[in-house]
Amino acid sequence: MNSKNTLANKLNNAKWDAIDSIGQVRNDLFNHVTLSLSRIEGKLEFLNSESIDGDSRFVDNFSQRTCKDITDEVAHTCKALDEIFVSLNEAKNSLINA
């Protein structure tokens, strides 16, 4: 019976370690990736806005298209990151409910 309790305790501890790890991964992704992408989005939004004179901030169409392409890539990456957050939350909830 003692070995059964020990195994149950080890499994329970492993479960909570996994839950803690998922939380740490989620926090790291938010702190290091999501916040960086948010800063990049803000800078790109500024670049795509009109200047005080109402003119484009770009001197040529290539730069403007490149900025637009990067904006689209960042938006796609943010969407993928949101999906990762959902998956992490589902995994964590699955462990909590197990």
Per-residue pLDDT of the chain (98 residues; tens, 9 = 90+): 577 779 889 989 999 999 999 999 999 999 999 999 999 999 999 998 988 888 888 888 999 999 999 999 999 999 999 999 999 999 999 999 98
- Predicted TM-score of the model (pTM): 0.80
Instruction: Provide the domain limits for residue 82.
Output: 2-97
Structurally, the chain folds into a number of domains equal to 1
Whether 57 and 49 have beta carbons less than 8 Å apart is answered as: yes
Indicate the DSSP class of residue 60.
S
C-beta pairs of 39-42 under 8 Å, 24+ apart in sequence: 40/70, 40/74, 41/71, 41/74, 41/75, 41/78
Q: What distances in angstroms separate CA 5 from CA 8, 9, 11, one per listed residue?
A: 5, 6, 10
